[in-house]
Amino acid sequence: MITEQLVDLSRLQFASTALYHFLFVPLTLGMVWLLLIMESVYVMTGKVIWKDMTQFWGKLFGINFALGVTTGLTLEFQFGTNWAYYSHYVGDIFGAPLAIEGMMAFFLESTMLGLFFYGWDRLSKHQHLLVTLLLAVASNLSALWILIANGWMQNPVGAEFNYQTMRMELVDFWAVLFNPDAQAKFVHTVSAGYVTGSMFVLSISSWYLLKKRHVEFARRSFRVAAAFGLASALSVIVLGDESGYTVGESQQTKLAALEAIWQTQPAPAGLALLAGINEAEQKNDWELQVPWLLGLIGTRSLTREIPGIHQIKANNRDRILRGRVAVQALEALRARRDDASARQTFDDTKADLGFGLLLKKYVKDVSLATPAMIERAVNDTVPRVTPMFWGFRLMVGLGFAMLTLFAVAFWSTIKTANMQKPWLLRWALWMLPAPWMACELGWLVAEYGRQPWTIYGILPTHLSVSALSVSHLYGSLAGFIAFYTALLAVELFLLLKFVRQGPGSEAMNDV
């Protein structure tokens, strides 16, 4: 029996493992390109200090990579253990990019990682540089395929429901591959990873400069991280605009919740920088608004409206009523596959099947749904506004704070004396947690904002879970949190150990 507690615990367990996993992913995505830059300078100049920089930062990269792989494997198994009906319902589509990721990216990434660490004395300089390049490409390919899978959950294109198999089936692989949501999520996410890697190197280099240790090493690392971080932070902001546009096109509910738009505004809509959100009365008590800005970001026009939550709920109520008819026709087809009347009814209403399935949370036979049940289902279609609104603004605020730091740090590298200003180095050191906070907030906004769906508009979350016992979920959740916390502690211990040891090479003084 699927209960609300079972669904909530399943969601909490997957969210916990995903958020732990995403502590490691951004650093992997960002640091590998910094390694490529450093090794490229070594190959071009022959200065051993750049080789030592590549090896030192590569050691920290390797520790993080190992933990990322360990925590990531659990997520894929959870699709079968905790989300069995989800895997059955959409496995033909969702499983394809994950399988390609394993065959195309993960194996290449793992092979190149081994050659990166053990090939320094066995490969020529140019061959090893090629290995590092392939490692960087493989890391980003891995992210691409995973985000294609996730993007399809946000915008399910290229698939159709087959009433004979009772599953979603892939009909256009290229539509899935070039899904605008997936592409926007990919470039935005990997750019956030580049910022994370840059901040990691910048902060640790600043610590060395404050301690006056490994100064030549730290100066070079600081310069590389400041330049790459500035370009990456600008990319995150620019590509975040594109991501906002795709959300406005395919997930108007999420956009309305992100921006606390209760009533549809005349075009172009203004952007609320701050607001006093009153969810009980479904309104904002006050707003600090920038005119026109949201309309330009969300619609790229001056004439298109952005629907408010009240209008969206009214539209969703109509879709739930049509979806109820689709569910009833589907159940008739399950009983009699040759029922022509039921087939025609289903074909006419199948676009709203997912909305009809929302009623299954409250009643097994949707034909018995009462007006109160329908109203509850309507309210379910919009996530809570307060965490969406403030989570998004905190993420954006952190992004602009990091952009400012990278800009100042990059400007300081023009004069070496400015680079060693204690206030700048302390600022960089204290900003070390910022990219991780922003990345975690980004995922929370993206995934919580999709609720109540696992597949947006297609499959409700409450129908996706496996029939597990609550006690088993409590036990496994506690086990995962304990184990992953231990892994995180091990990583932090190892990172701190090697950072305190420092590069430790005589070549650090080779300028």
Q: What is the pLDDT of residues 75-121, one digit of tens each?
A: 888 888 899 999 999 988 998 998 898 888 888 988 999 999 999 99
DSSP letter assigned to residue 290? E
How far is the C-alpha of 325 from the C-alpha of 350, rounded, in Å? 9
CA distances from 347 to 163, 166, 396 (A): 10, 14, 43
Query: How is 388-412 classified by DSSP, letter by letter?
Result: HHHHHHHHHHHHHHHHHHHHHHHHH
The pLDDT value recorded for residue 375 is 96
Q: Tell me the pTM.
A: 0.93
Question: In sequence order, which residues have a C-beta less than 8 Å from that of residue 159 and are 6 or more positions away?
Answer: 90, 92, 93, 152, 168, 169, 170, 171, 172, 176
| 333 in Cβ contact with 342 (< 8 Å) | yes
The pLDDT value recorded for residue 511 is 38
Query: How is 373-392 classified by DSSP, letter by letter?
Result: HHHHHHHHTS--HHHHHHHH
Distance of alpha carbon 460 from its chain centroid, rounded?
Answer: 20
- Residue 205 has a CB neighbour count (10 Å cut-off) of 29
Question: In sequence order, which residues have a C-beta less than 8 Å from that of residue 495 and are 6 or more positions away?
Answer: 60, 63, 64
Q: How many CA atoms lie within 13 A of 492 on its CB side?
A: 8
Retrieve residue 37's tokens.
């830059």
Backbone angles phi, psi at 368, to 5 degrees: -95, 5
How far is the C-alpha of 10 from the C-alpha of 474, rounded, in Å? 9
Least Cα distance to 17 among 452, 397, 480, 346 occurs for: 480
pLDDT averaged per 10 residues in sequence order, the chain, 511 residues: 83 91 92 96 94 95 90 86 91 90 86 93 95 94 92 93 91 93 90 96 96 92 96 89 77 90 88 91 91 83 89 96 95 89 93 95 93 95 94 94 95 76 94 95 91 94 90 91 92 93 59 38
Helix (H) or strand (E) holding 277: strand 271-278
Q: In the block, which residue shows the tokens 């051993």?
A: 48
The pLDDT value recorded for residue 417 is 61
How far is the C-alpha of 504 from the C-alpha of 164, rounded, in Å? 66
The pLDDT value recorded for residue 418 is 63
Q: What is the pLDDT of residues 129-183, one digit of tens each?
A: 999 999 999 999 999 999 999 999 999 999 999 988 889 999 999 999 999 999 8
How far is the C-alpha of 481 from the C-alpha of 195, rounded, in Å? 27
Distance of alpha carbon 57 from its chain centroid, rounded?
Answer: 25
The pLDDT value recorded for residue 469 is 87
The pLDDT value recorded for residue 506 is 40
The pLDDT value recorded for residue 508 is 45
The pLDDT value recorded for residue 158 is 93
Give the type of residue at 77: F
DSSP reduced 3-state for 14: helix
How far is the C-alpha of 202 from the C-alpha of 208, rounded, in Å? 10
Burial of 42 (0-12, 13-18, 19+ CB in 10 A): buried
Helix intervals (H) in 46-172: 48-81, 84-100, 107-118, 125-154
Length of the chain: 511
How far is the C-alpha of 373 from the C-alpha of 360, rounded, in Å? 10
For the chain, the straight-line distance linking the first and the last C-alpha, in angstroms and rounded, comes to: 69
Q: In the block, which residue shows the tokens 């496994």?
A: 476
Least Cα distance to 499 among 39, 59, 198, 62 occurs for: 59
Helix (H) or strand (E) holding 297: helix 293-299
Q: What is the dihedral of CA 358, 360, 363, 366, to 10 degrees?
A: 80
- Residue 77 has a CB neighbour count (10 Å cut-off) of 10
Retrieve residue 174's tokens.
């290229």
Retrieve residue 344's tokens.
């025609």
Question: In sequence order, which residues have a C-beta less than 8 Å from that of residue 149 and are 6 or more positions away?
Answer: 94, 97, 98, 101
Least Cα distance to 319 among 311, 260, 388, 370 occurs for: 311
Rg over alpha carbons for the chain, rounded to the nearest Å, is 25
Query: How is 106-128 classified by DSSP, letter by letter?
Result: IHHHHHHHHHHHH-TTTS-HHHH
- Residue 322 has a CB neighbour count (10 Å cut-off) of 17
| 181 in Cβ contact with 155 (< 8 Å) | yes
